[in-house]
Amino acid sequence: MVMPEEFHELARAVNNWGRWGPADERGTLNLLTPEAVRAGAALARHGRLFPLALPLSANGPQTGMVPGRLNPLRTMLSVNEPLTGDPADVSFSDDIVVMGLQAATHWDALAHATYAGRLYNGFPASTVTAAGAARCGADKIGAVAGRGVLLDVARVRGVDRLPGGHAITADDLDAAADLAGTTVAPGDILLVRTGHIQLLHAGDRTGYTYPSPGMSLGTVRWLRARDVAAVAIDTLTFEVFPCERPDLLLPVHLLHLVEMGLLQGQNFDLEALAADCGADGEYTFLLTATPEPFTGALGAPVAPTAVK
């Protein structure tokens, strides 16, 4: 498939290779400076906590569309097993899980996507092997915390949830930033709300999967211009799906992960947080979202927490 020249132009415009040195594996997380973290911490004023991860269970969002990306299947190793053999005594229960690392709320590792034989910062795609990602794996993400900004696109569009297939534009983001009463700044962590996750809560996994609203090609320069550290969304596919053009498959993944080295997150449940922001008009907060540091992983579960 020949990608259109306009994609390559955009790729060059937003590219961050070499910006943080030839060995860099963290991309835009370099923008999470102490100042950016402090700016976030200063917003934790009320002591209210909002956990943003989906429950992890066999009822998760996966439908089999990505083969093998199992919803978490948790089984018991032991149930009230008494250490002495006497059930009246001290007893323990223990469990294991098997799951796709991108099954539920997660950050993509930068190595998750490649094209033309390259991943972020020019590392060869061949650094991803059966052993995992030697470069830009989830273990390279490290601690994530900073100023979170809720961009409630559904609300500024006047709907509970954006319709499936809605391609979020730069204008949508501008309008949502206006609603938030803030200017998006370098090192910010954006949480883009579509409301689409309501379908999942209602049990409609298929509708949640497809068609989905999401980020469009038109937002990539916008994000790059503002130098955000990370972007997360309340959908499965992150970008609008089906894709905007038949000759460009999941192009936002390529531009974010490969060209920009921009951390992107999926299946963030923003409903309770958005209700709170709508109520008090404060759309910025401290966000901490350090992923589980799976060595060499292509993505990693995260239990993000907004602190207002």
Length of the chain: 308
- 1 counts as binding its own copies under rule CB under 8 A: yes
C-alpha span between 50 and 54 (Å, rounded): 12
Quick check: 17 binds its own copies (CB under 8 A)? no
Pick between residue 18 and residue 51 the one whose CB is nearest to its own copies. 51
Q: Scanning residues 256 to 285, which ones bind its own copies (CB under 8 A)?
A: none
The contact pattern for its own copies, residues 55-74, with x = CB under 8 A and - = no contact, is: xxxxx------xxxxx-xxx
Instruction: Give residues 21-40 in contact with its own copies (rule: CB under 8 A).
Output: 32-38
Q: What is the smallest separation between the CB atom of 77 and its own copies, expressed in angstroms?
A: 4
Residue 252 in the binding site for its own copies (CB under 8 A): no
Please pick, from the candidates 17, 20, 53, 175, the single residue that binds its own copies as defined by CB under 8 A.
53
Residue 93: what residue type? S
Q: How far is the CB of 159 from its own copies (least distance, A)?
A: 28
- Looking at residues 282 to 301 of the shown chain, list those that interact with its own copies (rule: CB under 8 A): 286, 288, 290-299, 301
223 Cβ neighbours under 8 A, 6+ residues apart: 14, 190, 231, 256, 260, 262
Nearest distance, CB of residue 7 and its own copies, angstroms: 10
Residue 171 CB, nearest approach to its own copies (Å): 27
Residues 97-156 that bind its own copies (CB under 8 A): 97-102, 111-117, 125-126, 128-133, 139, 142-145
Least CB distance from residue 219 to its own copies, whole Å? 18
If we measure between CA atoms, which residue out of 93, 108, 99 comes closest to residue 55? 99
Question: Per rule CB under 8 A, is residue 197 in the interface with its own copies?
Answer: no
Is residue 54 at the binding interface for its own copies, with CB under 8 A as the rule? yes
For residue 298, the tally of other CB atoms under 10 A from its CB is 21
Query: What strand order describes the sheet that includes 145-152?
Result: 49-51, 305-307, 284-288, 145-152, 189-193, 230-233, 263-266, 106-108, 299-301
206 belongs to the binding site for its own copies (CB under 8 A): no
Which DSSP symbol is given to 33? Answer: -
x-or-dash string of contact with its own copies, 219-238, rule CB under 8 A = --------------------
- Does 16 bind its own copies (CB under 8 A)? Our answer is no
Q: Residue 125 or 175: which CB sits closer to its own copies?
A: 125
The H-or-E segment that residue 284 falls in is strand 284-288
The residue within the footprint of its own copies, chosen from 16, 121, 267, 305 (CB under 8 A), is: 305
What gap in Å lies between CA 179 and CA 151, rounded to an integer?
Answer: 8
Conformational region of residue 105, where left means phi above 0, alpha means psi within -120 to 50, and beta covers everything else: beta
- The rounded distance, in Å, linking the Cα atoms of 58 and 75 is 11
Among the listed residues 28, 50, 179, 215, the single contact to its own copies using CB under 8 A: 50
Q: Which residues in 157-189 are b (16+ Cβ under 10 Å) and which e?
A: beeebbebebbbbeebbebbbebbebebbebbb
